[in-house]
């Protein structure tokens, strides 16, 4: 099961998901000047980041918009980046946030779970309705593919819709979370989580403990750390014994070299150091949570899954 692979990766490498939202402006000028073709420069930048962080990162999230913006050339870089991560045995989340229905959704599923753009997980937007997820389930049913579905996002505008409450006082994001929790019951791995997970931002922590306990079979993709204001202590509220979620950081990792004067040529080493710092901060916060008597008994995978 793909979720067991991700759980085991977190156990071995930590909770950090490296976001490859690679904008041209993020690449050091001196590095760009080494290449005659822009696509080569972008791919080589991604490759060096991956190589430097592979043993300390649970997975990689590749945001397709940064590549689509460059046209055919960019999509070729996107394809090569996905292929490279998977060739190393890594886990890749294609951040595509699709949200259509019927045959259109079926085509999106085929495009991103097979062929040139094949990935291990994709992100989806369910706010058109839960039937927008159904065309992806035949791939999830194989055990080799998974979904991260938007439940409560990290942006401030999440309050416009996701926080609206019904007559019983339940928010929209809680309703979405419950539906996802029910849906993932058919795809539970050895670690107790399902191949359908949820995107839950760590910037809104008012009901974090309640949410984590209520959705105990959903693995979380957690955005909002760092630049958006989320802290390690916030993240720890969404984990169970240091697992049960991955924490995405993109700019903070890709641009880490800018915090170290004179180390532009070592951008990948600066990225690695940033991953290690994030990992340690979250591990420390998670341990403090557990030692504080909030150990919530997460199921431990006893075997490595293929």
Give the model's confidence band at 204: pLDDT under 50 very low, under 70 low, under 90 confident, else very high: confident
From 48, 76, 97, 110, the catalytic residue:
97
Question: Which pLDDT value is given to residue 130?
Answer: 95
Q: Does 97 participate in catalysis according to the annotation?
A: yes
Q: What tokens were used for 289?
A: 């949570």
Structure-token pair, residue 283: 């591990």
Using the structure block, give the residue that is written with the tokens 């401030």: 156
pTM tops 0.85: yes
Residue 298 has pLDDT above 60, yes or no: no
64-85 per-position pLDDT tens digit: 999 999 999 999 999 999 999 9
State pLDDT tens for residues 216-254.
999 999 998 887 788 999 999 999 999 999 999 999 999
Contacts 24+ apart (CB under 8 A), 222-225: 222/246, 222/247, 222/248, 223/153, 223/154, 223/199, 223/248, 224/154, 225/249, 225/252, 225/278
Furthest-apart CA pair in the chain: how many Å? Answer: 61
pLDDT score at 293: 54
272-289 burial by CB neighbour count: b if 16+ within 10 A, else e?
A: bbbbeebbebbbebbeeb
For residues 277-289, average pLDDT? 95
How sure is the predictor about 306, in pLDDT bands with cuts at 50, 70 and 90? very low
3-state secondary structure of 292: helix
If one counts every other C-beta atom within 10 angstroms of the C-beta of residue 113, the result is 23
Domains and CATH numbers, the chain: 2-288 (3.20.20.70)
- ∠ CA 229-297-224, rounded to 5°: 15
pLDDT at 294 over 60: no
Handedness of CA 117, 306, 132, 207 (dihedral sign): negative
Per residue in 123-182, pLDDT (tens digit) is 999 999 999 999 999 999 999 999 999 999 888 898 998 899 999 889 999 999 999 999
Q: Which is more confident, 295 or 7?
A: 7
Judge whether residue 296 has pLDDT over 60: no
Q: CA nearest 152: which of 196, 201, 197, 224?
A: 201
Residue-wise pLDDT for 247-274, tens only, equals: 999 999 999 999 999 999 999 999 999 9
In order, the DSSP letters of 114-180 are: SGGG--SEEEE--TT-GGGTGGGHHHHTTSS-EEEEEEE-SSTTHHHHTT-B-TTS-BHHHHHHHHH
pLDDT per position as a tens digit, 19-54: 999 999 999 999 999 998 999 999 999 999 999 999
């Amino acid at each position: 099961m793909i979720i067991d692979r991700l759980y085991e990766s977190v156990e071995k490498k930590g909770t950090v998901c490296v976001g490859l939202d690679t904008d041209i402006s993020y690449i050091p000028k001196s590095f760009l000047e080494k290449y005659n073709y822009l696509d080569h420069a972008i791919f080589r930048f991604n490759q060096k980041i991956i190589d430097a962080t592979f043993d300390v990162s649970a997975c990689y999230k590749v945001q397709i918009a940064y590549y689509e913006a460059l046209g055919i050339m960019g999509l070729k870089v996107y394809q090569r980046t996905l292929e490279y991560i998977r060739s190393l045995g890594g886990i890749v989340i294609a951040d595509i946030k699709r949200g259509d229905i019927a045959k259109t959704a079926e085509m999106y599923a085929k495009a991103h779970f097979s062929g040139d753009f094949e990935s291990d997980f994709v992100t989806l937007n369910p706010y058109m309705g839960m039937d927008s997820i159904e065309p992806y389930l035949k791939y999830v049913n194989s055990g080799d593919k998974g979904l991260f579905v938007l439940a409560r996002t990290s942006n401030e505008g999440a309050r416009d819709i996701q926080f609206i409450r019904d007559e019983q006082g339940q928010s929209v994001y809680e309703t979405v979370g419950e539906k996802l929790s029910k849906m993932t019951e058919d795809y539970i791995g050895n670690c107790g989580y399902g191949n359908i997970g949820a995107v839950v931002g760590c910037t809104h922590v008012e009901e974090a403990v309640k949410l984590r306990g209520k959705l105990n079979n959903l693995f979380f993709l957690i955005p909002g750390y760092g630049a958006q204001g989320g802290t390690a202590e916030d993240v720890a509220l969404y984990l169970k014994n240091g697992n049960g979620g991955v924490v995405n950081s993109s700019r903070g990792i890709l641009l880490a070299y800018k915090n170290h004067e004179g180390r532009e040529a070592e951008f990948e080493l600066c990225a690695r150091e940033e991953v290690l710092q994030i990992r340690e901060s979250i591990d420390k916060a998670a341990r403090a949570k557990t030692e504080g008597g909030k150990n919530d008994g997460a199921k431990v995978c006893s075997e490595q899954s293929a």
